[in-house]
Amino acid sequence: MIAPQDIASRDNPLIKRLRQLSQDSTAYRKQGQVWLEGEHLCLALLARGLRPAVAVFTESFWPQAEPVLREAAPQVSRIPDHLMASLSGLESPARMGFLWTLPTRVEVNPSLPTVVLDRLQDAGNVGSILRSAAALGFAQVLAIKGTAALWSPKVVRAGMGAHFGLNLVEGLSHDDTKALKVPLLVTSSHAGDWLHKATLPWPCAWVLGHEGQGVDPALVALAQQSVRIAQPGGEESLNVAAAAAICLHASATTR
């Protein structure tokens, strides 16, 4: 087992790096690494056969941490509990975390079952959709420019480990979706086939639009099918994460 390096200073280079990653939603793009906070995310990473670059533990948690966590990284650091709290975005700070190096090249896979996010703004919605995608057999998520940063701390926490099972590509344009060889389906609150009556293709790519504006007309024009969800209760529209879960479930259970 690797002996931990004790760090006590807020000015330590590793602590500075982790602080930036935890507080800046796009810092991962410059650093090429992401801070995974808490045992659940760390175990989810390991369950996918992935390994962190650095593991960080609080002094109080280190003696009771599972061996699989203590032995996961080539570099291990132990820090005071109050220092971990300064890095945390959680109401109850995590007891440990991993620093993980992101894949260097991620490209669109034309044939995978896909979810396309068109300028979704809310990090909670984006993370929730990633969870639904991973759970329901969609292997890829493409984010159009203007969508919340996929590896931001809030999206990662909301994704609950789903990130590690998906091919994630962001910063795309509408034209980039033309590379997909699977049919595009768009959601609408007022037009298209009723979901519960529709014949859905598989594999496919569901396009989910901006929380207020919906799917951009340029993407609608590329879609092979438009689908709407019956709302017998009479509400004007559904939250996009809820609509995504319904649509993706429909695809998963009718293929």
Q: Which CATH architecture has domain 114-254?
A: 3-Layer(aba) Sandwich (3.40)
Domains 5-101 and 114-254 share a fold: no
- The one-letter amino acid code at 1 reads M
Record the pTM: 0.93
Q: What is the tens place of the pLDDT at every residue in 137-196?
A: 999 999 999 999 999 999 999 999 999 999 999 999 999 999 999 999 998 767 788 999
Beta strands in the chain (DSSP E): 5-6, 33-37, 54-58, 75-79, 96-101, 114-118, 140-144, 167-172, 184-187, 193-194, 205-209, 225-228
The pLDDT mean for the chain works out to 93
Confidence of residue 236 (pLDDT cuts 50, 70, 90): low
- The one-letter amino acid code at 83 reads L
Q: What's the mean pLDDT in 85-98?
A: 88
Spacing of C-alpha 176 from chain mean position: 20
**β-bridge pairing 33-37 and 96-101:** antiparallel
The full set of domain ranges for the chain reads 5-101, 114-254
Q: Report pLDDT for 175.
A: 94
Q: Report pLDDT for 74.
A: 96
pLDDT at 210 over 90: no
Q: What's the mean pLDDT in 45-73?
A: 97
Count of H helices and E strands in the chain? Answer: 9, 12
Q: Which residue, among 39, 42, 28, 200, has the nearest Cα to 106 in the 3D structure?
A: 28
Fold of 5-101: 60s Ribosomal Protein L30; Chain: A; (3.30.1330)
